[in-house]
Amino acid sequence: MVTPDEQITRLVRNAVQVYSADELRQRLAAGRPLRVKLGVDPTAPDIHLGHTIALKKLREFQDLGHQAVVIIGDFTARIGDPSGRSATRKQLTPEEVDAHAVTYLDQIFKIVDRERTEVVRNSSWFASMCFDEVVRLAAHLTVARMIERDDFAKRLGEGTPVGLHELLYPLMQGWDSVVVRADVELGGTDQIFNLLVGRDLQAAHGMSRQIALALPLLEGLDGGRKMSKSLGNQIGVADAPEDMYGKVMSISDGLMLRYYALLSDVPEEEQERIRSGNLHPMEAKKRLAAEVVARFHGEAAAERASCFFEERFQRRTAHAPERITLPSGVLEVGICELLKLAGFAASSSEARRLVAQRGVRVDGEVVPLDFRFRAGQHRLLGVGRRRLAEVVGSAP
């Protein structure tokens, strides 16, 4: 039997802020399974490693006997979460959101136990909400408090528009917590405002306030900004094993330690050995890359990806391939331009000739003239047998 104090130690590990640990301890001491909420808006077809931090924490709650409640924000996704945004999100159609939701669940259940997860869509309550109910919900939050929010305050200060519909988003996320009677809600540090609104709305409706666990945001491949598909610096959980392995191998040694802390199941004493330099950074990174690939594609795929990397990036030539990084802000580049960037062609006409002669390969595969290299990818560009370049797409 795991005591409440032992559960607290495990559950708040890696959390940046907890509102509040004392409330969580009291709730655990009551002895009943807690309802642990995680809301996900399917604004894109795939999730990335940044999303898995909250999913791993949700699985930890499950393994301690608590009830996971995953809210598919098929209604809130049509607005788009303004958290951390410097501009209004593009609003999605219901059809786009539904298509994304299918792949989201498949990927979520690579981490969370499907049999112990309650899945609900917030369209089941928002779609039937009348305008009178919206007005009464909006009465719980003042304009003054809303514009104190960092991202709104920054945008208003810069003269960047803030849509009225964006102000409703925190209320909608908070109302989700009321409807599902959440005891705990998980979210990134960019979600703190929304998590606290949920606590307030529950209190206003006579409920015990949910405990809010604010979890760290994972930096993307560029090592600076948070991992995001829109920034092109993500490692998607649906990436091909070879791509996933190669992307992990492309991160800096410092970022590798961060990934170990937030993503790995390697025991703490072994992570300390890595931090202290007792394991060569290259070997440590290979171990991390194999662990990440195995989690989403299986051990056999991880072994194949490791062999692929060894062959393509280490044993292929006697000389290490030159590393080419796309200029900052470049989302994608055509193959001819890439050949010029790598110094493999002096002109566009020469580049087109090389491609037309089927002499240009990416990761060993011959590519056509319309091939485009995208930010966030990590590929091996080859011309002939001897000219090779390791190409990394920086975040825009």
**What 3 state SS string does 256-313 have?**
HHHHHHHHCCCCHHHHHHHHCCCCCHHHHHHHHHHHHHHHHHCHHHHHHHHHHHHHHH
Copy the structure tokens of residue 365.
């595969």
**Residues in contact with 144: Cβ distance below 8 Å, sequence separation at least 6, in sequence order:** none
Strands 184-188 and 211-215: parallel
Strands 332-334 and 372-374: antiparallel
Q: Quick check: bond before 264 cis, omega within 30?
A: no
**Residues in contact with 245: Cβ distance below 8 Å, sequence separation at least 6, in sequence order:** 289, 290, 292, 293, 302, 305, 306, 308, 309
H-only helix segments in 40-163: 49-63, 94-108, 123-126, 131-138, 143-148, 150-157
Strands 378-383 and 360-362: antiparallel
Query: Which single residue is written with the structure tokens 């209190």?
Result: 203
Res 385: pLDDT: 60
Burial 226-240 (b: 16+ CB within 10 A, else e): bbbbebbbbbbbbbe
Instruction: Note the pTM of the prediction, 2 decimals.
Output: 0.76
DSSP states along 87-109: SPPPPPPHHHHHHHHHHHHHHHT
Residue 386, judged by CB atoms within 10 A of its CB (0-12, 13-18, 19+), counts as exposed
Q: Give the side-chain half-sphere CA count within 13 A for 3.
A: 3
**Residue spans of the chain under pLDDT 70:** 83-91, 312-321, 364, 376, 385-386, 393-396
Phi, psi of 354 (to 5 degrees): -60, -40
- Dihedral sign, Cα of residue 52, residue 58, residue 63, residue 64: positive
Res 387: pLDDT: 75
Res 319: pLDDT: 47
Copy the structure tokens of residue 156.
């208003």
Reduced to 3 DSSP states, what percent helix, strand and coil does the chain have, rounded to the nearest 5? 50, 15, 35
Distance CA 365, CA 321 (A): 17
Residue range 79-107, pLDDT digits in tens:
777 765 555 656 677 788 888 888 888 88
Res 318: pLDDT: 39
Which helix (H) or strand (E) is 361 found in, with range?
Answer: strand 360-362
Distance CA 249, CA 287 (A): 10
**Residues in contact with 214: Cβ distance below 8 Å, sequence separation at least 6, in sequence order:** 15, 16, 17, 18, 19, 187, 188, 189, 191, 192, 195
* DSSP assignment letter at 48: B
Which residues share a beta bridge with 334?
372
| Domains along the chain with CATH numbers | 4-215 (3.40.50.620), 221-315 (1.10.240.10), 319-396 (3.10.290.10)
Res 206: pLDDT: 96
**Residues in contact with 347: Cβ distance below 8 Å, sequence separation at least 6, in sequence order:** 340
